[in-house]
Structure 1
């Protein structure tokens, strides 16, 4: 077991692995198989129809089947047990259905449109559902984005907006419209938690750009610039984000989920840069400083008191990850090396990533779930710290792939695989984090942590 005593702060050259030149396109057969898996879940659950909800913030399950998400508006994918589907869209998104990756009939649903837009073709949702063929003898699954049931609540609780849920329940009754989100995102059996080579390559595209954007912001950050100015060094362009990008300095870091302002970075400020795109998030948090000498006296033991214990658990996490590993054991390792009571972390120490930054998490106390080939995970251990410290953080994502999946990824996407190999070699031979063969880093910065974030020469490694 790696401890804080094994962690060294030493010179580490900045790694540059580049970004993809072309975005992988997930093949049609993958979408056909996704639909087949959804139909299999419907049959297993005795469902006649599946209603998959989406809005701009919560579109991952919808996108998984259609290949797109709505902008501005809500959307609803209705799938019958025979495989026929209908997509309900508002005024401005109706044309998107032409690009659906599964065959689907577009239905204009103006109640999904923005306020005061034309509603001359408005139909009551209950009328729309009846027109599709939903009737009182049917059982309907409602797919939202939260894992309510079976984690808590009942099968009749749903986060799908009430104007949708109540419309279908007016037809089938409350007890025949049940929560089916778990079929998609449950960390043990959800159809989205295991990915193939095409999906991993697609996620690597986003993870690579997210890490490159964070890296460029970190390399160009300096005192005297404000948060907005630093954010403009990001290289991710207009790629869709999975979280709001963050550049925060000083006391603004306590706001958590906040966007950059013209707040100026000062020497000794707590400092954070974070970019999340489809497939991965890169987050770094520490001090805008060159060394402990730039900090107040009470903060100068930051390296020994916070950083080294934190990096020890990060290194152990990366080394433990692998096929067949118990997620309960993984949680217990984190608690043993980096106790929650002392370091203040409270979220799951790691979670699944996909279109969403947080799909769901198999890692919890006592979890019986084991890690599987095809899972994509975020190294996400978030400590809390007294205000005179910066709570250290170096989040990045990875994929788990057995030998067969690695071979397919290497053959289908050689450039992706080469970047992954470069990252693995850096983590193993420079940072001395001994990854298992099945662990594939998706981020260009995986494992690299510079706690004094203006110092681009020094970083943490595992020593003797």
Structure 2
């Protein structure tokens, strides 16, 4: 196991990786395969009908089949056991149904629309779903976005608005509704946990651009400007975010998930920055400093006390990730290398990445989930020590066996070239011995500069 004393601060350039120029398109065959998998799950659970809920914040289970996301409104995708699909949409999302990637009918339900908008064509939701075959006694699965069941609630507990449940329950009977969100996102068996080569190529585009935007900002990082001003240097255009962007110092940094404001960046400040796009997020945390001389005298042991132990845990995480590895063992390894009681990390030691930044996580004590080909996971260890800047170099990876690697190389050669460049950087420069199946998706590729104004020095294994 790599230890803190094996970590050094040395000159490191960022990896030379091409910029993605074209977003890979997911084919109709990908969506058809997803639909078939969902219908198979419905048959196994004896479901007559499935309703997938969506809103602007929680749309990815819906989009998984639909191929489009939402603006402003709630929505439902109704799927019958015979394969008939129906979108139930509000005023402004109704035109989006033309982008559907699966055959589907469309219904307007104006109660999903914004407040005070026209309701001249409003019909009861109960009438709409009954008109598409829902009937009393049907066994109905409801898909939200949380793991209510089986993790910490019964299957008759839902994270879906009551007015929707009430209308559907009027037709099928309230006792007929069960929560089956876990069929999509459970860490062990969720349908969305495993990805295809197409998915990985698609996610790589967003993950790469998130890291490119963050690097552009880091390369121009300076003091004397505001959080908002420095955030504009990410320059990623109108790409879909999967997390709010961060460039925060001081109290905003301590609070965590807040938007950048007018606070001025000053020498010695604690600084946290991240950018997440559909497919991946990159985050970096440290000091606005060139060296230890720029921070509070009583915190000048930061590198030895926090940054090096943290990076040693990061290295061990990457080196232990491989097909067949136990996610519970990886969690315990991090706990041994970076004890929670001392370093005060609170969340999981990694999680799944998909269209959303956090799908679910297999990384917890006692987890029996094994790493499998097709998983996309985030290195997400976030220590905290009173008075110190944090330490974070969060990036995502994909796991691919030999067959999947060959498919990516043959079908997406430019994606593969970028992945290979990142692998070489991690192995040859940072001396992180990742397995063949580990495919880095971020152009930052585990490069971490804890003194963030010093744009030459980074941590690496000695």
**Superposition TM-score, scaled by structure 2 size:** 0.99
Distance 1:244 1:38 in 2: 30
1:14: Cα distance to partner? 2.4
Say whether the 8 Å CA contact 1:51–1:78 is kept in structure 2.
Answer: yes
Query: For each residue in 1:416-435, what CA deviation from the matched residue of structure 2 results, as whole angstroms up to 9, or x when unmatched?
Result: 00000000000000000000
Distance 2:347 2:241 in 1: 21
Say whether the 8 Å CA contact 2:137–2:173 is kept in structure 1.
Answer: no
Say whether the 8 Å CA contact 2:136–2:172 is kept in structure 1.
Answer: yes
Query: For each residue in 1:20-40, what CA deviation from the matched residue of structure 2 results, as whole angstroms up to 9, or x when unmatched?
Result: 110000011010000000001
Secondary structure of the corresponding residue to residue 363 of structure 1: coil
Distance 1:325 1:14 in 2: 29
Say whether the 8 Å CA contact 1:397–1:441 is kept in structure 2.
Answer: yes
Say whether the 8 Å CA contact 1:400–1:440 is kept in structure 2.
Answer: yes
Say whether the 8 Å CA contact 1:251–1:270 is kept in structure 2.
Answer: no
User: What aligned pairs does 1:312-391 form with structure 2 within 5 A after superposition?
Assistant: 312-387=312-387, 389-391=388-390
Secondary structure of the corresponding residue to residue 233 of structure 1: helix
Secondary structure of the corresponding residue to residue 202 of structure 1: helix
The match for 1:426 is 425
Say whether the 8 Å CA contact 1:224–1:266 is kept in structure 2.
Answer: yes
Query: For each residue in 1:90-139, what CA deviation from the matched residue of structure 2 results, as whole angstroms up to 9, or x when unmatched?
Result: 10110110110001111111000001000000011111111111111201
Say whether the 8 Å CA contact 1:135–1:171 is kept in structure 2.
Answer: yes
1:174: Cα distance to partner? 2.5
The match for 2:306 is 306
1:455: Cα distance to partner? 0.4
The match for 2:33 is 33
Distance 1:178 1:351 in 2: 26
Say whether the 8 Å CA contact 1:54–1:60 is kept in structure 2.
Answer: yes
The match for 2:440 is 441
Secondary structure of the corresponding residue to residue 92 of structure 1: coil
User: What aligned pairs does 1:62-81 form with structure 2 within 5 A after superposition?
Assistant: 62-81=62-81
Query: For each residue in 1:340-380, what CA deviation from the matched residue of structure 2 results, as whole angstroms up to 9, or x when unmatched?
Result: 11100110100000011000001110001101000000000
Secondary structure of the corresponding residue to residue 373 of structure 1: coil
How many positions carry a matched residue from both structures?
462
The match for 1:172 is 172
The match for 1:247 is 247
1:19: Cα distance to partner? 2.1
The match for 1:287 is 287
Secondary structure of the corresponding residue to residue 151 of structure 1: helix
Q: Please list every run of 5 or more consecutive structure 2 residues that lacks an aligned counterpart in the other structure.
A: none
Distance 2:118 2:451 in 1: 55
1:166: Cα distance to partner? 1.5
Query: For each residue in 1:60-79, what CA deviation from the matched residue of structure 2 results, as whole angstroms up to 9, or x when unmatched?
Result: 10111011111011111000
The match for 1:5 is 5
Distance 1:334 1:170 in 2: 49
Query: For each residue in 1:248-296, what CA deviation from the matched residue of structure 2 results, as whole angstroms up to 9, or x when unmatched?
Result: 0122201211011121100000001100111110000000110100011
The match for 2:163 is 163
Say whether the 8 Å CA contact 1:324–1:371 is kept in structure 2.
Answer: yes
Distance 2:320 2:166 in 1: 46
Say whether the 8 Å CA contact 1:217–1:273 is kept in structure 2.
Answer: no
Say whether the 8 Å CA contact 1:285–1:394 is kept in structure 2.
Answer: yes
Cα RMSD (Å):
0.8
Say whether the 8 Å CA contact 1:423–1:444 is kept in structure 2.
Answer: yes
The match for 2:455 is 456
Distance 1:16 1:231 in 2: 23
The match for 1:263 is 263
Say whether the 8 Å CA contact 2:15–2:421 is kept in structure 1.
Answer: no
Say whether the 8 Å CA contact 2:383–2:390 is kept in structure 1.
Answer: yes
The match for 1:416 is 415
**Superposition TM-score, scaled by structure 1 size:** 0.99
Distance 1:235 1:462 in 2: 32
Say whether the 8 Å CA contact 1:212–1:235 is kept in structure 2.
Answer: no
1:171: Cα distance to partner? 1.8
Say whether the 8 Å CA contact 1:14–1:456 is kept in structure 2.
Answer: no
Say whether the 8 Å CA contact 1:19–1:205 is kept in structure 2.
Answer: no
| Runs of 4+ that moved beyond 4 A | none
Secondary structure of the corresponding residue to residue 232 of structure 1: helix
The match for 1:138 is 138
Secondary structure of the corresponding residue to residue 50 of structure 1: strand
User: What aligned pairs does 1:51-130 form with structure 2 within 5 A after superposition?
Assistant: 51-130=51-130
Secondary structure of the corresponding residue to residue 404 of structure 2: helix
Say whether the 8 Å CA contact 1:12–1:430 is kept in structure 2.
Answer: yes
